[in-house]
Amino acid sequence: MTTRIDTRFAALKREGRAGLVTFVSAGDPDPKTSLAILKALPAAGADVIELGMPFSDPMSDGPTIQASSQRALKHGQTLAGTLDLVRAFRESDDATPIVLMGYFNPIYVHGVDRFLAEAKAAGVDGLIVVDLPPEEDDELCVPAVAAGINFVRLVTPTTDAKRMPAVLANTSGFIYYVSITGVTGTAKPDFSAVGRAVAAIRAKTPLPIAVGFGVRSADDAAAIAQGADAVVVGSALVAAIKSSLDQNDAATPGTVDAAAGLVRQLAGGVRSARRPAAE
């Protein structure tokens, strides 16, 4: 079954460039503004959207994304509300892939079968669930793939050769390589080390490889795009949204433009790293 993610990465390969994957938290800073930001991202240059599912205990996220989750939760964002956001986005965009990223607990509480059916119907294309290891694939990964939703797995600098086959076994859509150890948004990647890691992963899988964590600028994005199939930007984008808010963390007239403006810069960096187009 071909998903929007498969279609988008095939198109990027034909164009001879890397893609830009942008992360925002659903409902941040409020549901209405969050939808406006989502709708603005593709036109600004986002090729794939990662949409965070706000959770009260986001253990893998740095302080910037944790704060965005808290802002969303404060405004009543729920898992059902996140699916509503995707559904509303799909009313005007049926092409841009959306990957939900988060933790298993809200999905488990919602009910796995119910969640997958509703996510598919809403227009979700992929899942990244950071606290479900390969040993738990039967919980969500295998049912998701059966439902036509890609299950994207994280590979980290500490994933060794012995562990790699298990990580890759049921992964689909793309591989997300975490360029640094630790939580999101807390360090700058070593670009030469990232290039070597991407090459090593590429030797083991035909899936596209997206690289994230620590990408803050157009120059960072261009450096990553030299070797990766996509560049993921999250904390920098969430920080741009935060910087546009008023003292009460409420949206201002400049909030959507703050997000879109940074995405345009990052997209320019990604697109500056041209590679030969596929035949």
How confident is the prediction along the chain (279 residues), in pLDDT tens digits per residue?
A: 899 999 999 999 999 999 999 999 999 999 999 999 999 999 999 999 999 999 887 666 788 898 899 999 999 999 999 999 999 999 999 999 999 999 999 999 999 999 999 999 999 999 999 999 999 999 999 999 999 999 999 999 889 889 999 999 999 999 999 987 655 444 567 888 888 999 999 999 999 999 998 888 999 999 999 999 999 999 999 999 999 999 999 999 999 999 999 999 999 999 998 665 554
Contact 104, 129 (CB under 8 A): yes
Find the angle CA(175)-CA(122)-CA(132) to the nearest 5 degrees: 40
Looking at residue 188, its pLDDT comes to 67
Looking at residue 180, its pLDDT comes to 75
Looking at residue 55, its pLDDT comes to 85
- The total of other beta-carbon atoms located within 10 Å of residue 114's CB is 10
**Distance (Å, rounded) from C-alpha 216 to C-alpha 5?**
24
Residues classed as catalytic: 50, 61
Looking at residue 185, its pLDDT comes to 46
Looking at residue 275, its pLDDT comes to 61
Map out the domains of the chain as residue ranges.
4-272
Task: Judge if pTM exceeds 0.85.
Answer: yes
Looking at residue 279, its pLDDT comes to 46
**Distance (Å, rounded) from C-alpha 23 to C-alpha 244?**
17
Looking at residue 192, its pLDDT comes to 83
| CATH of 4-272 given 3.30.70.3460, 1.10.10.10, 3.30.470.20, 3.20.20.70 | 3.20.20.70
